[in-house]
Structure 1
Amino acid sequence: MIYLKTEEEINLIKVSAQILGKAHAEVATWVKPGVTTGKLDAVAEEYIRDNGGIPSFKGFNKFPASLCISVNEVVVHGIPGGYVLKEGDIVSIDCGVKLNGYHSDSAYTYPVGEVSKEVMNLLTATKKSLYKGIEQAVDGFRIGDIGHAVQSFVEDRGYTVVRELVGHGVGRDLHEAPEVPNYGKRGKGIRLREGMVLAIEPMINLGAKAVVQERDGWTIRTNDRKYSAHFEHTVVVRKGKAEILTTFDYIEKVTANTSLMVEVQ
């Protein structure tokens, strides 16, 4: 069952998304060499709870933390802990906030200090592919249009798309129908309708697309151990142009990382 949101519900998700964006920015101030991933998780949880929210991920299917923190070859669902960030790492921070009964969900991948040009290009391409996908989240289009836009953009640049993990609907539940793959064919899949709220989240690999799950039951990493990047927004399908409900503005005021800035037309 796919639930179309009312304007009142969409506005509640927007409020949640503002807390989420600011929580990301609080974490961003700590993304630097010498900081543990556990510290980043604690910063996020404190900010979310202090502002009346609930970390969406903590306890979801028994996940033990408020953030999914995925470093280098970890694609998604990395568990925060004692790992100490070091120069040259990249780190995906995936966070969700529940506020007033509604969830928002977004992710951002950071370079830690100086990273290679090859890796920075991966981050930039992955972020751009997110906006290519969002451009297709329009009433009357199809789910396959979103996936095709992401897939064609990154594959043209020599990257690969993770197939086993997908975006999803968002609302009263963190994960709702429909699934939103980052690959697909134009004109295929369910028809998009105004009021659908979707988490679009490209997960793009520097090497091959194959992934494996670690023994902890959560961590997903690339099979070849090459780096992977992940960016995500929560958006609402509209007529003519999708509306982005989450925001990277607060993150980018903190990082001033112009090399990852993407103009959204």
Structure 2
Amino acid sequence: MLTKQKKLILSHAQRDMMRRAGSVNAELMDFLRPHVQAGITTLEIDKMVHEWTYDHGHKAATLGYQKYPKCCCISINEVICHGIPDSTVLKDGDIVNVDITTIVDGWHGDQSETFLIGEVTEEKRAVTQCAFDCMHLAIDQLTPGCRVATIGETVTPEAHRRGFTVVREYVGHGLGRQFHLDPSIPHFPNRQSRIDRLFAGMCFTVEPMINAGTRYTKSDKQDGWTVRTKDGRPSAQFEHSILMTEKGPEILTETKNGPEKGHRF
């Protein structure tokens, strides 16, 4: 176990590479931001991701990953994650999560945001606020060497306090030269997360998926990717890439124009 964890520790030069990957990915999110509005198709957003990424000399991590067909994941309303961009038009009242991952000189930057399109229901607004707040609350609790379970022990009680649930089937992950690395980062406490620790030099994502209704999910058997809430109620998610430093967690995917900690939707 110790040997395995040592492999996850980045040198200072490698940390800088991850910082650059995160910064590039955040720049892409800010580029997309004004376009995520009513009237655009999710396929048009994906095309923007493709053009911006490759025009800047980078790669979209999801394109071809385990045969995934697009450059990003776009999940609307009851879709929890892995929504495939298509001809669907965003409309007033939707909430939509845009999840982007960019490979920059071999290193991965990964993040997602949930956008509110026009006037949304109070339930959609509240579940979006909860996902955003839970992400930041969890990040704020992290310290060098802390247990991974710190994240789940923060997210789950807060979500339940607000009347929402936490998805268990899909979790955060280590990040670096590969898209998905150890350790697994569940947003609920379990046995393994009480064992795994987050040491200085480790990169990982914090990305709670919060459901308005049941925590249970159902996968689309036709496309093999899209995951929806089992009861059809809305779900929201936010994600940042995090570098644990000797002083504490550093957010690598902070945007210039996006919502900051404490934002009210």
Shared fold, TM over 0.5: yes
Equivalent residues in 2 for 1:1-265, closer than 5 Å: 1-2=4-5, 3-184=8-189, 188-215=194-221, 216-252=223-259, 259-260=264-265
Distance 1:8 1:240 in 2: 17
Q: Over aligned residue pairs, what C-alpha RMSD do you find?
A: 1.6
Count of aligned pairs: 256
Distance 2:233 2:169 in 1: 17
Amino acid at match of 1:248: T
Distance 1:65 1:134 in 2: 29
Q: CA deviation at 1:144?
A: 0.6
Distance 2:115 2:227 in 1: 18
- The question of whether the paired residues in 2 share the 8 Å contact of 1:154 and 1:160 is answered with yes
Distance 1:252 1:125 in 2: 13
Amino acid at match of 1:73: E
What residue number does 1:263 align with?
none
Q: Secondary structure at the match of 1:250?
A: coil
Distance 2:259 2:206 in 1: 19
Distance 1:154 1:249 in 2: 27
Structure 2: gaps (5+ residues) = none
TM-score (structure 1 length as normaliser): 0.92
Amino acid at match of 1:247: E
Distance 1:249 1:207 in 2: 32
Distance 1:180 1:161 in 2: 13
Name the % identity: 34
Q: Secondary structure at the match of 2:194?
A: coil
Q: Which runs of 4+ in 1 moved over 4 A?
A: none
Structure 1: gaps (5+ residues) = 261-265
Q: CA deviation at 1:153?
A: 1.3
Q: 1:17 to 1:142 in 2, by over 3 A?
A: same
Q: CA deviation at 1:6?
A: 1.2
Could you tell which deviates more after superposition, 50-59 or 129-138?
Answer: 129-138
Could you tell which deviates more after superposition, 242-251 or 110-119?
Answer: 242-251
